[in-house]
Structure 1
Amino acid sequence: MSYRHGGYRRRYRDDYDDRRREVIETPEDRLKTTIIKFGEVDALEELPGLDKQIRNHQPLNIPNVSEAFRISVTEQPYKIPFYAALLRSLYNASDLAEGETEAPVLGRLILEDFWKGFQGYLDKVAWRETRLCIQFFAHLTNAGLISPESMTALLQSFVAVLDEFGVSHGRAKKAALSAGEGLIIAGPVLKVHSPSSVNEMIAAIHTYSESTINAKWLVALNSKVSNEVSIPEGADEVLDSLLNALNTLNEGDFSGTADCIPQPYLKGEGAQTDLPIYDLPSVLVPPEIIEVEGITSEAGSDAQIKKEEWPEYYFRVFTTDVSPDPNTPAGYVIRSTLIDTIDIFEINRKECARLLLEYPKWNLPGTFKPKPGSTVEHEPIPDKDWQLDSTVLETILGVYLVLPESSQKSISYISLMTELCKLSPSTVGPAVGKSIRKLYSALSESLDVEVSRRFAEWFAIHMSNFGFQWVWKEWVPDLSLAVQHPKRAFIRRVVEFEIRLAYHERIFKTLPAQMQDPEAFVIPDQSPSPAFDYEDPLHPHHEAAQSVLNLFRGRANAEDVIAHLDTLKNQLEGADEGHANLDSLVRSIAVQSLLNIGSRSISHLLNGIERYLALLRNLASGGISSSGGYGNNEAKADILTASASFWRHNRQMVGIVFDKLMQYQIVDPTDVVNWTFLNGSVVGQLKEIEKPLNLSAFEWDLLKGALDKANGRVVIARRKIATLRKEDDDARARAKASQGMEVDGETKPDEQDNVENPALETALKASESLVREQKAALSRTLEGFISCLAPSTGDANPSPGSRNMIGEEAWNNRDAWGRDEWNAWETWGWYRQFVRAYAPYLRIYTNTLETVSFSKFEGVNDPAADLLKKLWHIATGQE
């Protein structure tokens, strides 16, 4: 009983402690929360009450209120016009006593403190927060609170970034968007104040945009193989859309701004018109903050590298009567606000989906069609009345399919689209179906291979969330296309993804009979499973493999397994007369036997690798009985081939095993790159359509995994070096400080000044080795693509179709293309993705890689070689 009572006392005491730890919300916190939640029901109706609540709050903490405004503006961009209206209301001097015309106005005090926060964003080069604050200032300029002179100067300071020497595209693009979007909003006032300044800013953005034509060509959403730099019709690039919107507004002296952006601060009765004008202080946009990711340059010095930013093309799904055209002012504003909302609420997809579907209440009434069953009706605006669900879905797909990679993980966008389908299945569902059909039809119109890969990933995950229901019979006629046509390749990849997410039999039953036919090459005739080459008792090496298997099952020591393999090799040498390479055979038996033990799950695989690391490293060293290093390329290739052969019916596991072999340093990334270019096609999903030396999405996944591993190791190594150096410097500083505090005032020389840190020396040597590995992986990848696409200098395994699709004329005749041409076309697409996705790393080693890889083309007249070099030069910033 005493224990029970003691337990009760302990429980009650813990509850009391929990209550003591509860955070008590202060009146200031409640006011801050109220400001942030402003407008959740009806912003215009709530505005007078919130204005009064802020004025009556005593004592009023101006920084607290200003912080609430900053949070609201930078995290709820769809509310910015209404916060401008709230601040304008707080500018009214009706609360001043008679004769206090010089007393500070509450709104003015909030704005001054808000500016301090904006300066903080600017100093940190927080571009999104900076841009949204500029939008807020632009609204306040329209409201008569900020002088047009200072607003013009603010925008000009961002336009000046475009003229900086060597400005990166990412920095220039963000500065142009900040200035351009501010100009869209404040244009009605600024055009009256200084037409020349407005025209000059638009011209500066246009000039910069024109200078990026090569970069635009490289990241356009099409994969036409041509040496001619051209932008496809209908392409939608963000800076081009901004310029089109600005030019449209400028032609009408920005009278159209009121037709695309809410301006609630210009409405209402009794508002003062003679408000004190605030002059924004002058600013200078600070230089870009570059993250040090630990890359060592060819000269051996530390180099700074950051993710490369390219022009952004957004895929258009619907016609302009369904979703707004982003090249119009209204369309651009809507898309920009939706994208900001998607980025800000990336951490909470449920809240993001809800806010996206509630977006019309923050826009002009009549912009979107009312929800089905809604009692609120608005008069449709001419040339608007768009469908909200289609607009939102098109925006998400646009940012998801941006090349060379999206700003967020793919799963973030896919999960958001799934959440939208759950919130409003009757309206979002049809929009999803139309989007899938639109993207599928674009596969025949040179849709980029990376876009196609992401499309397949989204489609498969979407099907898995909704019962794998799709009208596959719509695509049955496409089975008559060439077996490597993008549409047929897409169908196979989707089915492969769906099998990963479910199981073979279930997906098989969802397909029509025509696609179930083995001759259709859509789905394999067996489920993804291990393929142990020595399983069959009739296999000549079955007994040998079983002896190795028994050792693994009995958890024998690695040394015992190595000794057994030595004995096995000697036995086979006398008995097997037909095998060309007994070392390769023994490696294959050992690796496949170990993978067979680990085939039950990933944890079994990792346990097997970790238990027999010594064995695997011995196999990779080049000899069964050798205890040497890790330098035998043939042995490592044998290990990779045995692994790929064991999992040839499950290509996902091939990638996983390769990744683990690199993780445990049994093979290097360069080994995986070599193997992929030489042997990747042996892991065909369907053996009947194995292709020559070309790359599909599967081989690209292997290459990407190897390159990311090599680059990631260098990043980690350099960060470790930076940490060790900082710790070393701190230790030296502390030692000097302690010596300087001696009573006699004399300091002793720091005896450790010239002593090297052993840990730092080790880290530096490791980093040098990893940098060589990184450089080798990039170099081998480039050489592999050249061997595939331009084997004009006697390279082995020539690609028959690598030249037959170069040029517009060849593309127009693509209906006659066969397997080789489509294979080569896809390989060209992956080469484009390689140079643009890894451009930051390639630029570090440009001179070396270019000399080694492209020197063979000197004096050679070859369109394939010319195209290879052109894409390389654009990616590395030489064109």
Structure 2
Amino acid sequence: MSYRYGGNRKRYRDDYEDRRREVIETPEDRLKTAIIKFGEVDVVEELPRLEQQIRDFQPLNIPFLSEALRISVTEQPYKIPFYATLLRNLYNTPDSIHENTPVLGRLILEDFWKGFQAYLDKVAWRETRLCIQFFAHLTVAGLISPESMVALLQSFVAVLDEFGVSHGRAKKAAQAAGEGLIIAGPVLKAHSPSSVNDLITAMHTYSESTTNAKWLVALSSRASNEIIIPENAHEVLDSLLNALDILNAADFAGTVDCIPQPYLKDGATTFDVPKYDLPSVLVPPEIIEVEGITSEAGSDEGRIKREEWPEYYFRVFSNDVSPDPTTPAGYVIRSNLVDTLDIFEINRKESARLLLEYPKWNLPGTFKPKPGSTIEHEPVVGKDWQLDSTVIETILGAYLVLPQSSQKPIYYISLITELCKLSPSTAGPAVGKSIRKLYSALAESLDVEVARRFAEWFAVHMSNFGFQWVWKEWVPDLLLSPQHPKRAFIRRVVELEIRLAYHERILKTLPPEMEDPEAYVISEQAPGAAFEYEDPSHPHHEAAQTVLNLFRGRANAEDVITHLDTLKSMLEASDEGHMDVDSLVRSIAVQSLLNIGSRSFSHLLNGIERYLALLRSLASGGVSSSGGQGNAKAKSDILTAVASFWRRNRQMVGIVFDKLMQYQIVDPTDVVGWTFVNGSIVGGVREPGMPLNLSVFEWDLLKGALDKANGRVIIARRKIATLRKEDDDARARAKAKQGMEVDGEIKPDETDNVENPALETALKASESLVKEQKAALSRTLEGFISCLAPPEGGSNPNPNSRSVIDAAAWNNRATWDRDDWNAWETWGWYRQFVREYAPYLRKYTNTLETVSFSRFEGVNDPAADLLRKLWHIATGQE
């Protein structure tokens, strides 16, 4: 009984503690929640109830109401027209209110403007743009004067004329002005036709100045000097301007036929109140980052400011299935969906739910009703689009933006999975059609980076749905060249699926034609280690076993080094004098260590950490060497041994390379150099004597090395900034203390001349890392040049790698062989290199250009011209 009593007492105490911790919702919280959740059930019925709830709230708190409205507008853009209606209704003055009493709606609007100004001061572009949409609706509703709205839009268009304005800043300013003009156009055009025309002309002028930049990110991998934009690729700013041109040609007659305007119902067109004049604004100048480093609140680490390019997105469906984003209605719908994607990135489940509920915030007839829905409407000519197809197309468009998507790729992938779970009967078919459309585009110069992301999405999506796919549809493509983009895509997907499951399971999902080893789709063996010296018949099997036994017995690194010295002497004394003994010893030692660590990641890391001294000795150029920075040959031997050991599991090659760089056994430059020389041989893509080329495997290695070099510089600079701040704070405290202790005149601070040893060390380390970064970038650029424009008489026999792919060659690609497609893919990875790492390349433009392109001076070489053209566009010289 006592035990039970004690247990009950504890339970009651826990309940009491829970009640104490329970958050009590205040009246302000309830009203704020009501404003934010406005319209979740029935917006028409909720509107008068919410209006009355706001009027009855006491005491009157205008800042609180305007804050709730700002949150609602900037986090739920699809509700903006209905919040404009709510504010318009709050302009109505009940008869019981004295005529001299300030109008509640106007008070809220005036305070709302203060919040907008705060967004503008912080250069919060999305919140600023959504507030402008809100103001545009209020202009149509008759609450804001047209002349002040025109002035607001003009202040954003003025950004386009700034000297040296970045494309990211110009694009966001143009979107803010253009989207406001789409909504308020009818009123503004009637008020001042010339002003509207000037706004559109200014945006066109800027867009035409970005032609070269558009070409570099237009989702195409054509190695040609011609500016080629795929038919399925649309640029965001161009789409906006096309929509504005359509509206302007009709003098903005009527409204965009998907935007609800509930504030114009019930005779609201005659609504007559003193209009609010928006104060004049000046868009703050662009923030100049010190040394390109940002350290925004909430970010994982200070990062170099990412270069912003024109934003192209891929169209999957025809205009009768999803809206054409170059039309007013299509642009507005896509903009709303993209904003929802970005805002609700923190909660993919909520994002999926809101995307599927999007039609309720549009005019009836915009989208087809869901199967089984009781809602009926007359089909609208040119509309009645499919919601799921539109949403999937928008997500894929945002996911495949080059050079990087705005959100992490896994968010878009998981969001599509959530949509399929919520609406399998409609989202599933849309996903299947999207996969087939993207697959068919692979042979139409779809960019290699887009194809890489497509393969990752496809593999992950299949893993979430039992790896079920109709592979038989693609069996005829096995007759294509092994390096054809479709064949390469199939191999890549199967490789990724095996990583997500296991070899035998994926093998069972493939048709017999793809199981054949001659199809080059899936390997006969499961991914795993390939210890070269495991076979007893191997001539060096016994030597490797002695080293392996030392590792198994956890011998000291010094003992292993001593044994390797002995082994080296024995091999040199043997009859095999033609061997490279040093390389052989390194291969035996590295592969034996990897064999011990192949059981798990923990075994691998423990092995590397235990034998760091051994690995550094091997990398230093000689087994018995006790120090030094190492030499390129020794480090290349280590990397080759790793790649050979994991040749049946290419994922592990990248992982081990990363660990070797992390422990500074090899440098990023070593990995870059090894990749261009040996990567595609070990990767199974080419054989000795074939032309140099890069596939997605080699690109992953290059990217890992470059990211490591760049990341180290950023971390070092952050450390310097921290030490400098600490140093300045210490000096300030010392001066303050001295000022308090000394009466009268303050003595000079003796600490001003004291050097900080930690800061000096950090500066020297940063200088060394900057050199490493520059070397890695330079080696990568030189590697691409060697592949694509080798010198006459060089080792690259592929003629296609020396010439650009003109229209005639591209139209004749049905006859291309393996070398042709390899050259095409290498050109694609060079494009990705210069655009993704443009912020880093621009810091060293003169040095890199002088070293890498000097030999092309006075040389008439189309490949060299294209290399320089892409380089100049990426570094801002064209």
TM range (shorter): over 0.9
Contact 2:681-2:687 within 8 A present in 1 as well: no
Shift in Å, 1:60: 2.2
Question: Map of 1:422-501 to 2, 5 A cutoff?
Answer: 422-501=421-500
Counterpart in 2 of 1:289? 287
Give the letter for the 1:484 counterpart. Q
Counterpart in 2 of 1:110? 108
Judge which range, 251-260 or 104-113, deviates more: 251-260
Contact 1:619-1:635 within 8 A present in 2 as well: yes
1:2, 1:608 → 2: CA distance? Answer: 55
Give the letter for the 1:132 counterpart. L
Counterpart in 2 of 1:82? 82
Counterpart in 2 of 1:587? 586
Counterpart in 2 of 1:508? 507
Relative distance call for 1:3 and 1:289 in structure 2 (3 A) is: farther
Shift in Å, 1:217: 0.5
1:831, 1:256 → 2: CA distance? Answer: 48
Question: Counterpart of 2:80 in 1: which secondary structure?
Answer: helix
2:87, 2:689 → 1: CA distance? Answer: 67
Residue 798 (structure 2) pairs with residue 799 (structure 1): yes
Question: Map of 1:291-330 to 2, 5 A cutoff?
Answer: 291-292=289-290, 305-330=304-329
Relative distance call for 1:161 and 1:527 in structure 2 (3 A) is: same
2:513, 2:779 → 1: CA distance? Answer: 41
Contact 1:237-1:311 within 8 A present in 2 as well: yes
Give the letter for the 1:42 counterpart. D
Q: Point out where structure 2 has 5 or more consecutive residues left out of the alignment.
A: 295-301
Counterpart in 2 of 1:374? 373
Give the letter for the 1:875 counterpart. A
Question: Counterpart of 1:260 in 2: which secondary structure?
Answer: coil
Contact 1:789-1:799 within 8 A present in 2 as well: no
Relative distance call for 1:215 and 1:415 in structure 2 (3 A) is: same
Judge which range, 389-398 or 249-258, deviates more: 249-258
1:36, 1:650 → 2: CA distance? Answer: 51
Question: Map of 1:676-691 to 2, 5 A cutoff?
Answer: 676-685=675-684
Shift in Å, 1:13: 4.2
1:30, 1:328 → 2: CA distance? Answer: 40
Contact 1:649-1:685 within 8 A present in 2 as well: no
Question: Counterpart of 2:801 in 1: which secondary structure?
Answer: coil
Contact 2:417-2:461 within 8 A present in 1 as well: yes
Shift in Å, 1:495: 0.8
Give the letter for the 1:703 counterpart. L
Counterpart in 2 of 1:394? 393
Counterpart in 2 of 1:69? 69
Q: Deviations over 1:117-143 (max 9, x none)?
A: 111110110111110111011111111
Residue 185 (structure 2) pairs with residue 187 (structure 1): yes
Shift in Å, 1:797: 3.4
Shift in Å, 1:551: 1.3
Contact 2:141-2:269 within 8 A present in 1 as well: no
Contact 1:92-1:271 within 8 A present in 2 as well: no
Give the letter for the 1:244 counterpart. N
Q: Deviations over 1:523-546 (max 9, x none)?
A: 111110100001011111111111
2:128 to 127, 130, 143: 130
Counterpart in 2 of 1:201? 199
Relative distance call for 1:818 and 1:401 in structure 2 (3 A) is: same
Q: Deviations over 1:387-443 (max 9, x none)?
A: 000000000000111111111111110000011011111111111111111111111
Counterpart in 2 of 1:836? 835
Give the letter for the 1:487 counterpart. K
TM-score normalised by structure 1 residue count? 0.97
Q: Point out where structure 1 has 5 or more consecutive residues left out of the alignment.
A: 297-302
Contact 1:804-1:821 within 8 A present in 2 as well: no
Give the letter for the 1:599 counterpart. S
State the Cα RMSD in Å: 1.9
1:216 to 209, 214, 217: 214
Question: Map of 1:24-173 to 2, 5 A cutoff?
Answer: 24-94=24-94, 97=97, 100-173=98-171
Q: Deviations over 1:611-666 (max 9, x none)?
A: 11111111111110001122311111111000000000000110111111111111
2:797, 2:712 → 1: CA distance? Answer: 33
Question: Counterpart of 1:314 in 2: which secondary structure?
Answer: strand
Question: Map of 1:651-800 to 2, 5 A cutoff?
Answer: 651-685=650-684, 692-742=691-741, 744-800=743-799
Contact 1:294-1:716 within 8 A present in 2 as well: no
Question: Counterpart of 1:324 in 2: which secondary structure?
Answer: coil
2:575, 2:503 → 1: CA distance? Answer: 39
Counterpart in 2 of 1:625? 624
Contact 2:220-2:229 within 8 A present in 1 as well: no
Counterpart in 2 of 1:403? 402
Counterpart in 2 of 1:300? none
Relative distance call for 1:795 and 1:304 in structure 2 (3 A) is: farther
Contact 2:448-2:825 within 8 A present in 1 as well: yes
Shift in Å, 1:234: 4.6
Give the letter for the 2:531 counterpart. F
Contact 2:84-2:134 within 8 A present in 1 as well: yes
1:689, 1:373 → 2: CA distance? Answer: 62
Relative distance call for 1:220 and 1:190 in structure 2 (3 A) is: same
Give percent identity, aligned residues only. 83
Relative distance call for 1:844 and 1:615 in structure 2 (3 A) is: same
1:277 to 265, 275, 278: 275
Contact 1:96-1:103 within 8 A present in 2 as well: no
Shift in Å, 1:3: 8.4
Aligned length: 871
Judge which range, 518-527 or 195-204, deviates more: 518-527
Judge which range, 838-847 or 60-69, deviates more: 60-69
Relative distance call for 1:270 and 1:175 in structure 2 (3 A) is: closer
1:2, 1:725 → 2: CA distance? Answer: 64
Give the letter for the 2:246 counterpart. T
Question: Counterpart of 2:194 in 1: which secondary structure?
Answer: helix
Contact 2:713-2:769 within 8 A present in 1 as well: yes
Contact 1:681-1:691 within 8 A present in 2 as well: no
2:842, 2:258 → 1: CA distance? Answer: 42
Give the letter for the 2:681 counterpart. V
Question: Counterpart of 1:752 in 2: which secondary structure?
Answer: helix
Question: Counterpart of 2:109 in 1: which secondary structure?
Answer: helix
Give the letter for the 2:617 counterpart. N
Shift in Å, 1:21: 2.8
2:320, 2:734 → 1: CA distance? Answer: 72
Give the letter for the 1:23 counterpart. V
Relative distance call for 1:295 and 1:253 in structure 2 (3 A) is: closer
Counterpart in 1 of 2:597? 598
Relative distance call for 1:743 and 1:693 in structure 2 (3 A) is: closer
1:729, 1:133 → 2: CA distance? Answer: 40
1:35, 1:53 → 2: CA distance? Answer: 10
Give the letter for the 1:834 counterpart. F
Relative distance call for 1:691 and 1:33 in structure 2 (3 A) is: farther
Counterpart in 1 of 2:299? none
Counterpart in 1 of 2:810? 811
